Amino acid sequence: MATTTMTMAKALNEGLRRAMEKDKKVLLMGEDIGKLGGVFRITDGLQKDFGEDRVIDAPLAESAIVGTAVGLAIRGYRTVCEIQFDGFVYPAFDQIVSQVAKLRKRSEGVYTLGLVIRLPFQGGIGAIEHHSESPEAYFAHTAGLRVVSCSTPNDAYWMIQQSVEHDDPIIFCEPKSRYWEKGEVDLDNAPHGLFDAVVRREGNDVTAIGYGSSVKTILRAAATAATEGVSMEVIDARSIAPLDFAPMIKSLEKTGHLVVVQEAPRTASVGSEIVAELTERCFYSLRAPGIRVSGYHVPYPPSRIEDDYRPSVDRILDAVDRVMGFES
């Protein structure tokens, strides 16, 4: 088994490289992704190695980028679109929900949409306005779209390849605050299916579920809780649409306590859906109501106070105390 250590950014780069080597119909398209290699350098070196016809520097027009990718998908190409920052996806929203999500159904399967929209999302990098959004719930709500998020370099490496190979359109959410964190990558074997939730830490007292950048924060909270005698089971959802409830249900049947963590605002959110669905399915296993730890229902704040907005170890531990306290 060949393994190596790399950052999440490098893992995405290598995953894209491997996808392009395997299939000559895989194209990359986005703003400044060619010579510059993208704002976060995810596509660094790929235009040099694969040429300007396969790594395309597009105009500053997200709607045109996604619309062009739809046409390419109809012709059998597999296009990976980079949206430079999460807040820049909104100009392409009409194309995504009206065309990308619906064309396969509308054509009764005549056309597949082998299309990936890469979306650096969430905050934590001290960015300016419109650069730290969490728009995943918009897309999870839209039938016809698949939405996934990696939280480790190994998942980044494999999930981007699995997404490129999938015949449904994928919104691929990348936690930008984790781009530079290193981890071990297995270069030979995909550890999980694209839409599988994964237990990252086993525990007996509380089930804590998250995705993207929140997973590492939950793991830090779990390590702290363990010193206080509380055993947290940590589940990385990985897939936001569809959600893989089987590992969550199995965990809740054991722990009876639920905390869901996300960076997005809590109203009508992915976390809300997880709590609602698990309450329906695991009502008689729950010993207390599920609790959401999330961003607040306000526009993302200036960078100097973003740490007060994003879920922290202290906020997660407070939620654990509250959910455990319902029994006392």
Assign 3-class secondary structure to 208-265. Answer: EEECCCHHHHHHHHHHHHHHCCCCEEEEECCEEECCCCHHHHHHHHHHCCEEEEEEEE
> What does 101-124 look like in DSSP terms, one character per residue?
TTHHHHTTTSS---EEEEEEES--
Q: Determine contact, residues 231/181, Cβ cutoff 8 Å.
A: no
List pLDDT tens digits, range 10-21: 999 999 999 999
Amino acid found at 151: S
Two domains, one topology: 3-186 and 199-325 = yes
Q: Determine contact, residues 144/102, Cβ cutoff 8 Å.
A: yes
- Strand ordering across the sheet containing 239-241: 55-57, 26-30, 78-82, 115-121, 170-175, 146-149, 239-241
Using the predicted structure, report yes or no on whether residue 326 has a pLDDT greater than 80. Answer: no
From 130, 131, 257, 297, the catalytic residue = 131
Q: Determine contact, residues 224/313, Cβ cutoff 8 Å.
A: yes
Amino acid found at 313: V
Residue 312, both tokens: 């922290």
Using the predicted structure, report yes or no on whether residue 27 has a pLDDT greater than 90. Answer: yes
Please give the Cα distance from 65 to 32 (Å, whole number).
12
Q: How far is CA 294 from the centre of its chain?
A: 15
The whole model's pTM is what?
Answer: 0.96
pLDDT band at 159 (very low <50, low <70, confident <90, very high): very high
Using the predicted structure, report yes or no on whether residue 1 has a pLDDT greater than 80. Answer: no
- Mean pLDDT for the stretch of residues 33-41: 96
Angle, helices 153-165 vs 8-22, to 10°: value is 30
Closest-CA residue to 28 (of 77, 63, 64, 92): 77
Q: Does domain 3-186 have CATH number 3.30.70.20?
A: no
List pLDDT tens digits, range 163-179: 999 999 999 999 999 99
Q: Determine contact, residues 39/33, Cβ cutoff 8 Å.
A: no
Using the predicted structure, report yes or no on whether residue 248 has a pLDDT greater than 60. Answer: yes
pLDDT at 83: 97
Amino acid found at 327: E
pLDDT at 322: 96
Closest-CA residue to 116 (of 49, 44, 23): 23
CATH C-level class of 199-325: alpha beta
Largest CA distance in the chain: 64
Spans of all domains in the chain: 3-186, 199-325
> Could you say which DSSP state residue 90 is in?
G
- Mean pLDDT for the stretch of residues 116-135: 95
Close Cβ partners of 34 (under 8 Å, ≥ 6 residues apart): 43, 47, 52, 55, 56, 57
- Mean pLDDT for the stretch of residues 136-152: 97
Using the predicted structure, report yes or no on whether residue 245 has a pLDDT greater than 60. Answer: yes
Can 131 be counted among the known catalytic residues? yes
Using the predicted structure, report yes or no on whether residue 211 has a pLDDT greater than 70. Answer: yes
Please give the Cα distance from 148 to 211 (Å, whole number).
9
pLDDT band at 301 (very low <50, low <70, confident <90, very high): very high
Using the predicted structure, report yes or no on whether residue 31 has a pLDDT greater than 90. Answer: yes
**Helix or strand (DSSP H, E) at 291:** strand 291-295
Using the predicted structure, report yes or no on whether residue 328 has a pLDDT greater than 60. Answer: no
**Helix or strand (DSSP H, E) at 20:** helix 8-22
Using the predicted structure, report yes or no on whether residue 324 has a pLDDT greater than 90. Answer: yes
Residue 263, both tokens: 């960076």
Residue 175: cis peptide before it, omega within 30 degrees of 0: no
Q: Is 81 helix (H, G, I), strand (E, B) or coil?
A: strand
Please give the Cα distance from 301 to 281 (Å, whole number).
36
Q: Is 49 helix (H, G, I), strand (E, B) or coil?
A: helix
In order of 47, 84, 170, 245, 287, the CA distances from 41 in angstroms are 12, 11, 21, 34, 46
